[in-house]
């Protein structure tokens, strides 16, 4: 029996999401994960975890500091919209809120729930800082 998520990125739904991410963010397809459950993109870098039976989300990292520029949040929200179909502006506002909450939390983690999407993030300033934002389809 195949493991959950195996080759799930090849389903019609995931192929549609992949195409939307490429079109809306001007990223480039890089490769599938060995299991076929994730799609990696480059320039800009992001990953789509796509398993319609369990969870589908896009993840973006910022490794230059704990404070990405507004343009990065706008790009992240655009990718999030390609996955969730939730309004980009709402996603961008939620990503900023999530980022601020994660910076204040000892765990460095935060989640913002929206109708149709969850925004999960990690943000920190230690060791040069970094941010990860995930936009998950609800």
Interval 60-98: pLDDT, tens? 999 999 999 999 999 999 999 999 999 999 999 999 999
pLDDT cut 90: percent of the chain above it: 91
pTM strictly above 0.75? yes
Helices and strands (H and E) in the chain: how many: 3, 7
99 pLDDT band (50/70/90 cuts)? very high
Distance of CA 114 to the CA centre of its chain: 15
4 pLDDT band (50/70/90 cuts)? very low
From CA 97, how far away is CA 52, in angstroms rounded?
27
What is the average pLDDT score of the chain? 94
């Amino acid at each position: 029996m195949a493991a959950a998520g195996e080759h799930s990125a090849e389903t019609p739904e995931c192929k549609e999401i992949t195409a939307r991410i490429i079109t809306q963010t001007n990223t480039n397809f890089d490769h599938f994960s060995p299991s076929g459950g994730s799609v990696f993109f480059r320039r800009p870098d992001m990953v789509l975890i796509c398993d319609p039976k369990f969870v589908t989300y896009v993840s973006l990292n910022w490794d230059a500091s704990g404070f990405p520029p507004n343009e990065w949040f706008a790009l992240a929200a655009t990718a999030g919209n390609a996955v969730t179909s939730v309004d980009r502006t709402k996603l961008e506002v939620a990503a900023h809120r999530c980022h601020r909450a994660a910076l204040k939390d000892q765990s460095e983690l935060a989640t913002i729930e929206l109708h149709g999407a969850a925004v999960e993030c990690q943000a920190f300033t230690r060791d040069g800082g970094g941010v990860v934002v995930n936009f998950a389809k609800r």
